[in-house]
Amino acid sequence: MKILPKKELFIKRVYEIVNELKIPLIDERVYDDVSFSGKLAIASVRFTFEDDESVIRGFLGLAEYFHTVVIKSKDRFFIPHASILFQLQSA
């Protein structure tokens, strides 16, 4: 049995919960390039996953609440909303 590194487990779990909640996710398979400008955001909120799945669910709950998408870039996930940028990353 192959043991996945912590970041891979984190990404896999986010994908599972996104599918469960039916939240649109945009990742490297569909876009050519993505960048975010934190300078234009009034607020930038960072969630850090440290083995507590409720952090992932809370982050994805924002996408549900705001009826928006989740964007994956490398090993981080983003929810852009108005002038707020939410970010989820693994510790």
Q: Tell me if 43 is assigned to some domain.
A: yes
Q: How far apart are CA 61 and CA 39, in angstroms?
A: 25
pLDDT, tens digit (0-9, with 9 covering 90-100), for 11-55: 999 999 999 999 999 998 888 888 877 677 789 899 999 988 999
Pairing state between β 76-81 and 84-90 = antiparallel
* 3-state DSSP helix/strand/coil % of the chain, to nearest 5: 35, 30, 40
How many domains does the structure of the chain reveal?
A: 1
For residue 86, what pLDDT is reported? 95
Q: Is residue 44 part of a domain?
A: yes
Which carries the bigger pLDDT value, residue 32 or residue 58? 58
> Edge-to-edge strand order for the sheet containing 70-73?
25-26, 70-73, 76-81, 84-90, 43-49
Sequence letter at residue 34: V
> Is 1 among the domain residues?
no
What is the domain range of residue 12? 6-90
pLDDT for 36 equals 75
